[in-house]
């Protein structure tokens, strides 16, 4: 499987000539979803869900489908009948040849005064886990953890402990648009040294084989 990092929380997975895109949000490239055979969205926040980017991907490929939670599905199901699928914790499905398990229910706490919204994570082919905006621990082993490295709802000790709890073979940074280049070496050193797993980050557009 080939993994390509897009800006912020968006990734592309390619296998057997098919492409799966997760979270093409407003901080990602305008064409982040174009070329996708299947698109997954973890939650409704605009850095993960951008309607124009999703429409561009679905219009570019009339056979492409979208799998997401209800708050996002309700925004697009009328425009793309039969192609938008609502999922929740515990669901399993196949999308463009990828086997997907859904884990998690709620967004991480930003502040006690801010109501929590629904958030789901996706375990793809029993290997790659994208948690969205939560520190969800799947009930299955994870080879590659897409690690939300910096967010208004987290601190680095929580990120390190999350890697320790999931115990992946490798952790690759996502949710990094707000992390400055000045701070990246600090995060790399502390997560890599304390997380107990291989840790790396990819520049948007770079790929790695899993």
Tally of domains in the chain? 1
Average pLDDT, the chain: 97
Q: Mean per-residue pLDDT for 6-34? A: 98
Q: Which residue has the tokens 């701070």?
A: 183
Q: What is the pLDDT of residue 166?
A: 98
67 DSSP assignment: E
Q: What is the pLDDT of residue 128?
A: 98
Q: What is the pLDDT of residue 178?
A: 93
φ/ψ of residue 138, rounded to 5? -65, 160
- Is residue 170 a contact partner of residue 197, using CB atoms and an 8 Å limit? yes
Q: What is the pLDDT of residue 114?
A: 96
- Is residue 37 a contact partner of residue 61, using CB atoms and an 8 Å limit? yes
Neighbours of 189 (CB within 10 A): 11
Q: What is the pLDDT of residue 131?
A: 98
In which domain, by residue range, is 49 found?
2-209
Q: What is the pLDDT of residue 173?
A: 98
- Is residue 162 a contact partner of residue 136, using CB atoms and an 8 Å limit? no
pLDDT tens figures, 139-195: 999 999 999 999 999 999 999 999 999 999 999 999 999 999 999 999 999 999 999
pLDDT tens figures, 80-90: 999 999 999 99
| CATH code for the domain in which residue 137 is found | 3.60.15.10
Strand order in the sheet with 11-15: 84-86, 65-68, 38-41, 18-22, 11-15, 2-5, 207-209
Q: What is the pLDDT of residue 97?
A: 97
pTM of the model: 0.97
Q: In the chain, what percentage of residues exceed pLDDT 90?
A: 100
User: pLDDT grade, residue 26 (50/70/90)?
Assistant: very high
């Amino acid at each position: 499987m080939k993994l390509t990092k897009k800006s912020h929380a968006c990734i592309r997975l390619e296998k057997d000539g098919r492409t799966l895109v997760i979270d093409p949000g407003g901080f990602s490239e305008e064409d982040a979803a174009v070329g996708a055979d299947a698109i997954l969205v973890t939650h409704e926040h605009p850095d993960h869900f951008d309607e124009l980017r999703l429409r561009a991907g679905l219009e570019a490929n009339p056979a492409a489908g979208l799998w997401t939670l209800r708050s996002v599905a309700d925004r697009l199901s009328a425009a793309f009948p039969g192609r938008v699928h609502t999922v929740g914790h515990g669901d399993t499905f196949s999308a463009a040849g990828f086997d997907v398990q859904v884990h998690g229910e709620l967004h991480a706490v930003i502040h006690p005064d801010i109501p929590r919204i629904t958030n789901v994570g996706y375990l793809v082919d029993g290997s790659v886990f994208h948690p969205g905006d939560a520190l969800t621990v799947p009930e299955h082993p994870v080879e590659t953890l897409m690690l939300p490295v910096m967010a208004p709802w987290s601190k680095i000790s929580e990120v390190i402990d999350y890697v320790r709890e999931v115990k992946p073979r490798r952790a690759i940074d996502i949710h990094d648009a707000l992390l400055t280049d000045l701070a990246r070496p600090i995060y790399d050193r502390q997560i890599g040294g304390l997380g107990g797993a291989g840790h790396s980050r990819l520049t948007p557009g770079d790929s790695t084989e899993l």
